[in-house]
Amino acid sequence: MSNLSKTDNYDVVIVGMGPTGLVLANLLGLEKLNVLVIDKFLSPYDLPRAVHLDDEIMRILQVIGVASEMEKIMRPNLGMRFVDADNNLLLDWPRPQEIGKNGWKPSYKFHQPDLERVLYKNLKKFPSVEIRKGFEATEVKNEDEKVEVTILKLEKNDVCRVKCDFIVGCDGARSFIRKKMGVEYEEMGFFEDWLVVDIILKKDRSDLGLFSIQFCGTSQPATYSPGTRGRLRWEFALKDQKNHEDILKTDYVWNLLSRWITPDEAKIERKAIYTFKSSLAEHWVKDRLILAGDSAHLTPPFMGQGMCIGLRDASNLAWKLISVIRGQSDLSFLKSYEIERRPHAKEYISTAIKLGKMLGELSSNSKKNKEGPIHMKSLAPKIGNAFSIKEEEFARSLSLQPKLSNGQYVDDIVGYKFCLFLSEDLASQFSGNNSNIIVFNSKDHPTIKEYLEHVSTKALLIRPDKYILGGAKNLSELNELLSLEFINSINNKI
Provide the minimum distance between the beta carbon of 313 and ligand FAD in the complex, in angstroms, as a whole number: 8
Q: Specify the residue, 200 or 455, whose C-beta has the smaller distance to ligand FAD.
A: 200
Long-range residue pairs from 72-76, CB within 8 A, at least 24 positions apart, any chain: 73/110, 73/111, 73/114, 73/228, 73/229, 74/108, 74/109, 74/110, 74/228, 75/108, 75/109, 75/210, 75/228, 76/105, 76/107, 76/108, 76/109
Which residues from 17-46 bind ligand FAD, rule CB under 6 A?
17-21, 38-41
Q: 36 with 132: CB under 8 angstroms?
A: yes
Q: Specify the residue, 52 or 458, whose C-beta has the smaller distance to ligand FAD.
A: 52
Choosing from 172, 217, 402, 470, the residue that interacts with ligand FAD (CB under 6 A) is: 172
Q: 421 with 400: CB under 8 angstroms?
A: no
Q: Is 301 in the site for ligand FAD (CB under 6 A)?
A: yes
Q: Specify the residue, 44 or 412, whose C-beta has the smaller distance to ligand FAD.
A: 44
Q: Specify the residue, 39 or 411, whose C-beta has the smaller distance to ligand FAD.
A: 39
Binding mask 185-214 for ligand FAD (x = CB under 6 A): -----------x------------------
Q: Specify the residue, 29 or 293, whose C-beta has the smaller distance to ligand FAD.
A: 293
Which residues from 44-63 bind ligand FAD, rule CB under 6 A?
49-53
Q: Specify the residue, 57 or 261, whose C-beta has the smaller distance to ligand FAD.
A: 57
Binding mask 378-417 for ligand FAD (x = CB under 6 A): ----------------------------------------
Provide the minimum distance between the beta carbon of 207 and ligand FAD in the complex, in angstroms, as a whole number: 23
Buried b (16+ CB within 10 A) or exposed e, 212-223: bbbbbbeeebbb
Distance CA 354, CA 370 (A): 18
Q: Specify the residue, 37 or 478, whose C-beta has the smaller distance to ligand FAD.
A: 37
Q: Specify the residue, 84 or 235, whose C-beta has the smaller distance to ligand FAD.
A: 235
Which residues from 139-168 bind ligand FAD, rule CB under 6 A?
none
Q: 45 with 325: CB under 8 angstroms?
A: no
Distance CA 117, CA 106 (A): 23
Strand order across the beta sheet in which 468-472 lies: 438-441, 419-422, 459-462, 468-472
Provide the minimum distance between the beta carbon of 112 and ligand FAD in the complex, in angstroms, as a whole number: 6
Provide the minimum distance between the beta carbon of 439 and ligand FAD in the complex, in angstroms, as a whole number: 34
Provide the minimum distance between the beta carbon of 382 and ligand FAD in the complex, in angstroms, as a whole number: 20
> DSSP readout, 27-40?
HHHHTT--EEEEES
- C-alpha 311: how far from chain center: 3
Which residues from 217-276 bind ligand FAD, rule CB under 6 A?
274
> DSSP readout, 113-128?
HHHHHHHHHHHTT-TT
Q: Specify the residue, 271 or 449, whose C-beta has the smaller distance to ligand FAD.
A: 271
Q: How many CB atoms lie within 10 A of CB 123?
A: 21
Query: In terms of residues, how long is the chain?
Result: 494
The size of the interface with ligand FAD (CB under 6 A), counted in residues, is: 34
Provide the minimum distance between the beta carbon of 56 and ligand FAD in the complex, in angstroms, as a whole number: 11
Provide the minimum distance between the beta carbon of 172 and ligand FAD in the complex, in angstroms, as a whole number: 3
Choosing from 103, 300, 304, 471, the residue that interacts with ligand FAD (CB under 6 A) is: 304
Buried b (16+ CB within 10 A) or exposed e, 373-405: bbebeeeebbbbebeebeebebbbbbbbbbbbe
Which residues from 98-117 bind ligand FAD, rule CB under 6 A?
112
* Eight-state DSSP code of residue 105: -
Distance CA 260, CA 232 (A): 11
Q: Specify the residue, 16 or 106, whose C-beta has the smaller distance to ligand FAD.
A: 16
Q: Is 118 in the site for ligand FAD (CB under 6 A)?
A: no
Q: What 3-state class would DSSP assign to 331?
A: helix
Distance CA 63, CA 315 (A): 10
| Angle in degrees, 0-180, between the axes of helices 335-361 and 306-325, rounded to the nearest 10 | 180
Instruction: Please report, for residues 13, 285, 328, 386, the alpha-carbon distance to residue 333 in angstroms, rounded to integers and kept in the order given.
Output: 19, 11, 10, 9
Q: Which residues are paired to 470 by β-bridges?
A: 461
Q: Which residues are paired to 471 by β-bridges?
A: 460
Q: Is 137 in the site for ligand FAD (CB under 6 A)?
A: yes
Point out which span in 121-129, 169-177, 206-214, 376-384 binds ligand FAD (CB under 6 A).
169-177
Choosing from 310, 464, 470, 471, the residue that interacts with ligand FAD (CB under 6 A) is: 310
Q: Is 130 in the site for ligand FAD (CB under 6 A)?
A: no
Q: Specify the residue, 306 or 470, whose C-beta has the smaller distance to ligand FAD.
A: 306
Residues forming the site for ligand FAD (CB under 6 A): 15-21, 38-41, 49-53, 112, 136-137, 170-172, 176, 196, 274, 293-294, 301, 304-308, 310
